[in-house]
Amino acid sequence: MSDINAIGLHESSASQLAEKLNELLANYQIFYMNVRGYHWNVKGPQFFELHTKFEEFYTDLLTKVDEVAERILTLGHQPVHAYSDYTQLSRIAEEKNVHDGEACVRGVLKGYQTLIELQREILSLASDADDEGTAAQAGDYIREQEKTVWMLNAYLG
């Protein structure tokens, strides 16, 4: 029996990457719900601007949820799919009853910073495993989200 999986990676590396990607998936799911909540509940003078921006963010996050889950499957593993697992695995905490626009933006900023940190860990693991697919995905996400972090910080002044 070979230690190489269907896409040519060592199974031990694929397993380690899938575990870390499941952690990333959990963070994306919790963050998605937080941003969805900000979208629904934001109040204040920036309501129209933030309501629209939060929809843009959560739509992108939902796309990435699917992409991360499919990458786990590509590695030959199963994505976690229960919210009880997400809350256990996530570094991002659930946010409840946040209405203030600035607090919502700070929550989005903190969420993206957490994702970037985790994706850098995945990028390092993927590079060590010669997993170009996972490395490229993580790198693309990091590049996009670093720009978003810069813009959110500029918004907050």
CATH of the domain at 64: 1.20.1260.10
Taking the CA atoms of 34, 40, 41 and 47 in sequence, report the sign of the dihedral they define.
Answer: positive
Residue 91 lies in a domain: yes
Mean pLDDT per 10-residue interval, the chain, length 157 residues:
89 97 98 98 96 98 98 98 97 97 98 98 98 98 98 97
Please state the domain count of the chain: 1
What is the SS3 assignment for 4?
Answer: strand
Residue 134 lies in a domain: yes
Residue 152 lies in a domain: yes
Residue 138 lies in a domain: yes
Residue 1 lies in a domain: no
Residue 3 lies in a domain: no
pLDDT at residue 2, rounded to an integer: 74
Which of 141, 123, 135, 20 has its CA nearest to residue 77?
20
Find the domain containing 19 and state its range: 11-156
Contact 43, 103 (CB under 8 A): no
Residue 113 lies in a domain: yes
Residue 5 lies in a domain: no
Helices (H), 44-96: 47-74, 83-89
